[in-house]
Structure 1
Amino acid sequence: MKTNFSVDTAPKRSDEPIWWSLFGAGGTWFAMITPVTILVLGILVPTGLIDSDALDYERVKGFASSVIGGLFIIATLALPMWHAMHRIHHGMHDLKIHAGLAGKIACYAFSGLISALAVLLVVMI
């Protein structure tokens, strides 16, 4: 039995794996880390289940100015934005809005801007 399938030995390079990895990282961060952050900062501390002195200014500033704290803040701000912008970019195609390269650049440039601002914010602490 003969098939007419052929393998492209020189496929066109794609930048899609970069965007999909940022999309996946942002979705994972948003699904696993953000709810815990909201639980601690938005529910447990205001209700008094966690002592509010644990989040006094000097302690939080010390955490934010550490390497781990800075990376946490950057990831919390940047990764969900990459996820959201990738979803918007592909959602526009589903809605038959074909923005082309301009839409792709707008979505990912906005994510890049938010990421750069997050890094700047952490550096300024």
Structure 2
Amino acid sequence: MCKEFDVINQNPKRSDEPIWWGLFGAGGTWFAMITPVTILVLGILAPLGVIDAESLSYERVSEFATSFIGALFVIGTLALPMWHAMHRLHHGMHDLKLHVGVAGKVACYFFAGLISALAIIFVFMI
């Protein structure tokens, strides 16, 4: 047998990192592409009067937020950037030599999961 193949681990340990990296990537993408548009529409165009105030009335916004697409939008806006931020915080602490181990990982991802759960509860309570 060739020596090259002796270093290949035949029984690699399964990692949970692909799950966290997937949520990190989704949150980063959402934050980079959707959040600026949301800020533009709600924070700049609406106050300047470019968008009619009636189109952002409570009734219309409530109707949108309770629709399937609106609920996904609200949950995505609250949850996905939080997963991104907590993953970045977890790895940032490691980069700063603050090795908090499994407890830090659990704390970061628990907090992101809590915010996600609260976002889902919030949408269903509207």
Q: TM-score range by the shorter chain?
A: over 0.9
Structure 2 gaps, min length 5: none
Name the structure 2 match of 1:122. 123
Percent identity (aligned): 72
1:44 maps to: 45
Cα distance between partner residues in 1 of 2:21 and 2:10: 24
Match of 1:87, as an amino acid? Answer: R
Find the counterpart in structure 2 of residue 15 from structure 1. Answer: 16
Q: Which amino acid aligns with 2:35?
A: T
Give distance in 2, aligned partners of 1:2 and 1:20.
33
Please give the root-mean-square deviation of Cα atoms over the aligned residues, in Å.
Answer: 1.3
1:8 CA displacement: 1.0
Moved over 4 A (4+): 1-5
Q: C-alpha distance in 2, partners of 1:19/1:60?
A: 32
Between the aligned partners of 1:57 and 1:108, the Cα distance in structure 2 is: 33
CA distance in 2, matches of 1:14, 1:2: 26
TM-score normalised to the size of structure 2? Answer: 0.96
TM-score when normalising by structure 1 = 0.96
TM-superposed deviation, 1:7: 1.2
Query: 1:3 offset after TM fit, Å?
Result: 4.2
Map 1:17-36 onto structure 2 (within 5 A). 17-36=18-37
Alignment partners' CA distance in 2, 1:108 and 1:58: 35
In structure 1, what is the equivalent of residue 83 of structure 2?
82
For 1:100, the equivalent position in structure 2 comes to 101
Q: What is the rounded CA distance, in whole Å, between the counterparts of 1:4 and 1:78 in structure 2? A: 43
Quick one: distance in 2 between partners of 1:61 and 1:118?
Answer: 15
Inter-partner Cα distance in structure 1 for 2:63 and 2:38? 18
Aligned-partner Cα distance in 2 for 1:109–1:123: 21
1:10 deviates by: 1.0
Please tell me the residue identity of whatever aligns with 1:89.
H
Distance change in 2, residues 1:5/1:62 (3 Å): same
Deviation track 1:78-124 (CA, whole Å, cap 9, x = no partner) reads 00000000000000011000000000000000000000000000000
Matches within 5 A, 1:67-78: 67-78=68-79
**Residue 6 (str. 1) matches residue 10 (str. 2):** no
**Unmatched tracts of structure 1, length 5 or more:** none
